[in-house]
């Protein structure tokens, strides 16, 4: 993976980005401002090669700055995928009835992505449900999961109803706590639809095997569907594998994952990652208990140095507070 390399525009408000093998987890003591209860929204967009489209998506978020801050973007050309991280106070004291800034920023980015990206022409080595594949909300710095879940459901309803995208809830936002992995399996997410372990174009299905929680029952070929949920913090950690054999990477992924009898709270996929390269992509659902060190130790084959695709939650809070302090000093 490489950090986003498309040109920055003045309207965009990213602060800094982790480089491959360089996203370090740090904890910073203290702050010069009182930290509000914060929430984080991670949006995964099925596009990394179209610079104008990415600029449009990022500028949509900039309209809510400084109330909502885009603190990270991580682009992967082989996967043709970008992960964005937004942070905002969970409570909103704007004095009107508008949704909170994180709601509006996330919705604006989704709307911009649907306008700028055509799912039918998308191709990449990472599975995806639609133009906006996945949205995850996490509580930060004093926020509660129940509050984030309510925000998630409101955003999902708007995406489904106003943008007409089939929308699936998971985690605390779903009434029965459905997992992201389970809904993905039901929708055939993990099966490539093109040779070379690639996902290409929109699915041919005229209807969905599972009814969405919001939006139409028939997906648009230009938009696809989206999974959106609320959970405690998740680390995304990827490990390059020195083999062109995707099946070998998949065997490692299964052995590492909890579902395959490996490490508790670890989900993993083995994916192609460029010419002659593979990767084990992991979700660490409880990184305080099972983290990157344990995953790397379990790999088995000769592997490269693992790397995170986002900052730690402590660093993300720090970046938001730096932005808030800078804004306050200018007033």
What's the rounded Cα separation, in Å, for the pair 59 and 14? 10
Peptide bond into 66 cis (omega under 30): yes
What's the rounded Cα separation, in Å, for the pair 314 and 288? 13
Q: Is 169 helix (H, G, I), strand (E, B) or coil?
A: strand
Q: Which of 6, 65, 103, 126 is catalytic?
A: 126
What's the rounded Cα separation, in Å, for the pair 149 and 41? 12
pLDDT of residue 280: 95
Q: Which residues of the chain have pLDDT under 70?
A: 1-35, 92-96, 205, 299-302
Q: If residue 150 lies in a helix (H) or strand (E), which one and from where to where?
A: helix 145-162
Q: Which residues pair with 230 in a beta bridge?
A: 137, 171
The model carries a pTM of 0.88
- Using an 8 Å Cβ cutoff, are 288 and 265 in contact? no
CA distances from 102 to 146, 159, 289 (A): 16, 14, 29
pLDDT of residue 300: 60
How many Cβ atoms sit within 10 Å of the Cβ of residue 127? 20
The separation between CA 302 and the C-alpha centre of its own chain, rounded to angstroms, equals 28
pLDDT of residue 297: 78
DSSP secondary structure of 11-32: T------PPTTT---------S
Residue 26: active-site member? no
pLDDT of residue 329: 82
pLDDT of residue 181: 96
pLDDT of residue 98: 82
pLDDT of residue 255: 92
How many Cβ atoms sit within 10 Å of the Cβ of residue 200? 15
pLDDT of residue 126: 97
CA distances from 328 to 20, 158, 275, 321 (A): 32, 31, 48, 10
Structure tokens at 107: 């919705």
Instruction: Set out the domains of the chain in order of their start, with CATH numbers.
Output: 37-232 (3.30.990.10), 235-308 (3.30.70.670)
What's the rounded Cα separation, in Å, for the pair 317 and 138? 12
Tens-place pLDDT, residues 211-223: 999 999 988 999 9
CA nearest to 307, candidates 3, 10, 24, 115: 24
CA nearest to 108, candidates 135, 77, 74, 71: 135
DSSP secondary structure of 219-265: -BTTTB-EEEEE-S--EEEEEEES-S-HHHHHHHHHHHSTTTTSSTT
């Amino acid at each position: 993976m490489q950090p986003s390399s498309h040109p920055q525009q003045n309207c965009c408000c990213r602060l800094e980005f982790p480089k491959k093998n360089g996203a370090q987890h740090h904890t910073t003591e203290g702050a010069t401002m009182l930290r509000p209860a914060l929430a984080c929204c991670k949006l995964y967009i099925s596009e990394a090669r179209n610079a104008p489209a990415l600029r449009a998506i990022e500028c949509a978020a900039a309209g809510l700055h400084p109330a909502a801050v885009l603190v990270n973007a991580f682009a992967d050309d082989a996967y043709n995928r970008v992960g964005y991280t937004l942070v905002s106070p969970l409570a909103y004291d704007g004095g009107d009835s508008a949704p909170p800034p994180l709601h509006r920023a996330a919705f604006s980015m989704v709307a911009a992505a649907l306008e700028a990206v055509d799912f039918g022409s998308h191709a990449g080595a990472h599975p995806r449900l639609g133009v906006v594949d996945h949205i995850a909300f996490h509580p930060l710095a004093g926020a509660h999961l129940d509050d984030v879940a309510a925000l998630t459901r409101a955003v999902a309803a708007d995406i489904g109803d106003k943008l007409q995208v089939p929308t699936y809830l998971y985690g605390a936002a779903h009434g029965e706590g459905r997992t992201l992995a389970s809904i993905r399996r039901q929708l055939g997410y993990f099966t490539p639809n093109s040779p070379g372990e690639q996902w290409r174009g929109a699915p041919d299905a005229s209807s969905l095997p599972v009814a969405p929680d919001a939006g139409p029952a028939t997906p648009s070929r230009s938009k696809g569907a989206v999974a959106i949920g609320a959970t405690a913090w998740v680390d995304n950690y990827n490990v390059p594998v020195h083999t062109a054999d995707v099946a070998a990477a998949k065997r490692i992924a299964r052995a590492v994952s909890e579902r395959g009898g490996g490490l508790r709270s670890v989900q993993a996929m083995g994916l192609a990652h460029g010419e002659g390269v593979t990767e084990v992509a992991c979700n660490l659902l409880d990184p305080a208990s099972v983290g990157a060190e344990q995953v790397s130790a379990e790999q088995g084959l000769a592997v490269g140095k693992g790397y995170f695709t986002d900052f730690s939650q402590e660093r993300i809070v720090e970046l938001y507070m730096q932005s808030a302090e800078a804004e306050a000093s200018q007033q």
